[in-house]
Amino acid sequence: MIKIGIDPGKSGGIAWRIGNSDLAAVSMPETVHDLCSLLMQIAGEGEETNVYLEEVGGYVGGAGAPGSSMFNFGKNYGEILGVCAAYGLPVHLVRPQKWQKALSLGTSTGMSKTEWKNKLKAKAQQLFPATKLTLSTADAALIHYAAAEGLVK
């Protein structure tokens, strides 16, 4: 079974593994067409495919976050759900707190956003040393790992 981990943010990513291959991870495709192509390429390997999508709310935090940022974030999230539905890919929504707790990552309390993201990237790189991971792909890799290990459903 192929399990795809997706961090749906514009600066998010997609991570998957086919068979015993190394983890593959890419930044979020720029267009919905590119997203379709990528998901169909992964799912086209002939195995049952499940998507583990980080479940997010509508709030984009941070000072000065305009409504347009929240709209674009929701648009991207909806496009992912729509593409998966159109291609018959089952989607499992996973709250960030759930996959982070399953991996014993603690919380970001007392850390800057940069420190927290670097901690997540370090954990992902520890789990997948053969894969070049970035801040954009680390969360997707961790979501994939939590799903592949049966830590989230």
What's the domain range around 70? 2-148
Please tell me the pTM assigned to this model.
0.89
Domain-embedded: residue 15: yes
Domain-embedded: residue 7: yes
Domain-embedded: residue 23: yes
Domain-embedded: residue 153: no
pLDDT of residue 47: 81
Q: What total of structural domains would you count in the chain?
A: 1
Which uninterrupted H or E stretch holds 4?
strand 2-7
User: Do residues 25 and 14 make contact, with C-beta atoms less than 8 angstroms apart?
Assistant: yes
Going 66 to 71 to 73 to 76, the CA torsion angle's sign is negative
Tally of residues, the chain? 153
Map tokens 């495709």 to a residue.
29
Which uninterrupted H or E stretch holds 116?
helix 113-127
CATH at 95: 3.30.420.10
pLDDT 10s digit of each residue in the chain, 153 long?
A: 999 999 998 789 999 999 888 999 999 999 999 999 999 999 987 789 999 999 987 555 555 556 666 666 678 889 999 999 999 999 999 999 999 999 999 998 999 989 999 999 999 999 999 999 999 999 999 999 999 999 998
Helix, strand or coil for residue 131? coil
